[in-house]
Structures are given as structure tokens and as C-alpha cells.
């Protein structure tokens, strides 16, 4: 079968696996077949250590295309991440090893300063909750929809598990990080960041460090708990008291203050390159937004 025939076959399978309304939406999307092929090829390239039938992946993808937003999700889809999750759902040993090496390995850094025993307990519970199913229920990782990075989605679940454990055991403490720690978490991990010149990366990190240092300890903690650990406003309200709207306002204000301070730090040093300035600011903003996006899956 030629590449063109294979692409057409996979597109036909996807159309057949969704509702008539979703099918019409996909067919109205220009370049839909090429986009699907791009996701499949990117996934296979990123994960050469295991082989998942493209048909299995396409059927899995179809289950995660929401009504009315099928084309939009196809455009923003984290194809390689969804491919890995699909392979883990089926219990592929090589996929589970890749998940351990490329996803779980990064979880401890996202938990903040917690005790090593808690980190190990969180990781073990993550493995059980995400990768172990039953005769009637697939592993929870099957519910990951590919609309945000898999690493972020898993980190949010890990933070919730840590929160549960800390509520059960007073020995576990979620310690507020110093400014340098939050600045490190905010340093973008996006591909665009890696493409920046070294001097631009250093400038951004330096500006972040100064901007974070201006925030109060409570503001830093609110940003970390909400954007990086996935704490809901209801959970934060229980922790801090007051009204839900009041806590939400504090989170929003802290976010805006952070972004504005970064702009104030960068602007004088980038007067001649407004486009680059907006690009750097966009990276910081998206770092926060991507963390929120993971909550949607």
C-alpha cells in the first residue's frame, strides 16, 4: 500500500469511527487527511521502541474527539503523547517503559519540596491509578485526551495524590518554594524556548527570577498550587479561607502581576526588538496556560 493509500485508509477509518456531525466537521477541515498523517508519523518517530497499529491509534483518537470541536482538537492534538497513552492502555511493555522514562521521571520535580518517601508513594500510586485497569474498567490513562501535554496531565494528578496523602499524614509537608524555585518551574519547556539564543534564554530566566522575587510568599504559593499542581479554587478556598471569588481574584492578580513584572524587566533591554519581547512574554504566559490546559483533559 502506498503512503497516499494508507493516509486515505486511516482518514476513512477515523470518519467511520465518529458521529455524522463530527464527520462533517472533519471533512470541512482543509488538509484533514494530511494532518492525521502528520500526527501518526510524529508519534511513530518519537516512539521507535514500540509499535502500535495505526488503526488502533486512530480508533483511540476518535473516542477523544469532542462533539463540535473535532477539527479544533485535531489541530492542537499532542499526537505522540496520545499515541503513548494508547499503547500504555493496552499494556505494551515497551510503551510502559517509555512512560516511566519520559513521563514519570519528571514528576518529582513538579511536586516541589516534599519528602523523598512521599515522592515514592506518589509515584507508586500514580502507576496503580493510571496503568492498572480491571476486567470492566480500562486503565485511567485511557481517559487522557491529548489536548494538553501528557507530562502536565500526569503531574496534575500526581499533585492531587500528594495533596491527599499530606491530608492523611501530618509528617508530609508541602513547603513553599523560594523565588528561585518558582522561577525554575516557570522557565518554559516548550520547543520554542529551546530555539532561543542563549543570551535570550538567560535574559528571560533572569527576568523571571526578579519578577517572582517581588511576589509575596502567598502569591507564589497560589500560582504554584493552582497552575502547576492543579489545585481547584474550591481546594484553595478551604486552605486559605474567605470566598471562592476572593481566592480566584488573588490567583488572577498574582498571575497578572508576574507577567507585568516580567515585561517591566525585559522592556528596557529589548527596546529595539518588540517582536522578540512579545515572543518571550508569550512563552511565560503559555507556560501558565498550558498547565491550565492539562485540566481540560
C-alpha gyration radius of the chain: 21
Q: Is residue 183 a contact partner of residue 209, using CB atoms and an 8 Å limit? A: yes
What does the alpha-carbon distance between residue 67 and residue 21 come to, in Å, rounded to a whole number? 7
Name the pTM for this structure. 0.60
Residue that the C-alpha cell 514519570 belongs to:
104
Q: Say what the pLDDT of residue 176 is.
A: 43
Q: Say what the pLDDT of residue 190 is.
A: 45
What the block records as the C-alpha cell of 228 is 502547576
Q: Say what the pLDDT of residue 100 is.
A: 95
Residue 262: CB partners within 8 Å, gap ≥ 6? 207, 208, 211, 280, 281, 284
For residue 130, with 0-12 CB atoms within 10 Å meaning exposed, 13-18 middle and 19 or more buried, which class applies? buried
How confident is the chain (297 residues) per 10-residue block, as mean pLDDT? 62 90 87 90 94 93 87 88 95 95 88 78 91 84 87 82 65 44 51 52 75 81 74 76 87 86 80 69 62 35
Amino acid at each position: 500500500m502506498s503512503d497516499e493509500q494508507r493516509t486515505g485508509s486511516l482518514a476513512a477509518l477515523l470518519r467511520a469511527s465518529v458521529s455524522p456531525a463530527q464527520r462533517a466537521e472533519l471533512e470541512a477541515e482543509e488538509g484533514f487527511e494530511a494532518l492525521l498523517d502528520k500526527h501518526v508519523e510524529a508519534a511513530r518517530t518519537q516512539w521507535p521502541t514500540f509499535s502500535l497499529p495505526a488503526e488502533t491509534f486512530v480508533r483511540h483518537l476518535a473516542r477523544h474527539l469532542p462533539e463540535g470541536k473535532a477539527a479544533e482538537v485535531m489541530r492542537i492534538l499532542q499526537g505522540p503523547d496520545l499515541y503513548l497513552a494508547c499503547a500504555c492502555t493496552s499494556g505494551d511493555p515497551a510503551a510502559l517503559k517509555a512512560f516511566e522514562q519520559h513521563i514519570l521521571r519528571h514528576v518529582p520535580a513538579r511536586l516541589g519540596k516534599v519528602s523523598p518517601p512521599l515522592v515514592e508513594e506518589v509515584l507508586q500510586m500514580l502507576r496503580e491509578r493510571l496503568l492498572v485497569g480491571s476486567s470492566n474498567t480500562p486503565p485511567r490513562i485511557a481517559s487522557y485526551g491529548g489536548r494538553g501535554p501528557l507530562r502536565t496531565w500526569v503531574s496534575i494528578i500526581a499533585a492531587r495524590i500528594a495533596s491527599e496523602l499530606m491530608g492523611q499524614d501530618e509528617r508530609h509537608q508541602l513547603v513553599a518554594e523560594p523565588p528561585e524555585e518558582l522561577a525554575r518551574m516557570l522557565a518554559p519547556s516548550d520547543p520554542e524556548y529551546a530555539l532561543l539564543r542563549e543570551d535570550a534564554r538567560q535574559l528571560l530566566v533572569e527576568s523571571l527570577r526578579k519578577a517572582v522575587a517581588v511576589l509575596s510568599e502567598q502569591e507564589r504559593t497560589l500560582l504554584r498550587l493552582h497552575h502547576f499542581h492543579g489545585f481547584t479554587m474550591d481546594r484553595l478556598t478551604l486552605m486559605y479561607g474567605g470566598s471562592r471569588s476572593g481566592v480566584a481574584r488573588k490567583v488572577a492578580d498574582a498571575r497578572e502581576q508576574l507577567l507585568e513584572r516580567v515585561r517591566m524587566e525585559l522592556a528596557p533591554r529589548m527596546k529595539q526588538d518588540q517582536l522578540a519581547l512579545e515572543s518571550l512574554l508569550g512563552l511565560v504566559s503559555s507556560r501558565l496556560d498550558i498547565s491550565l490546559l492539562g485540566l481540560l483533559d
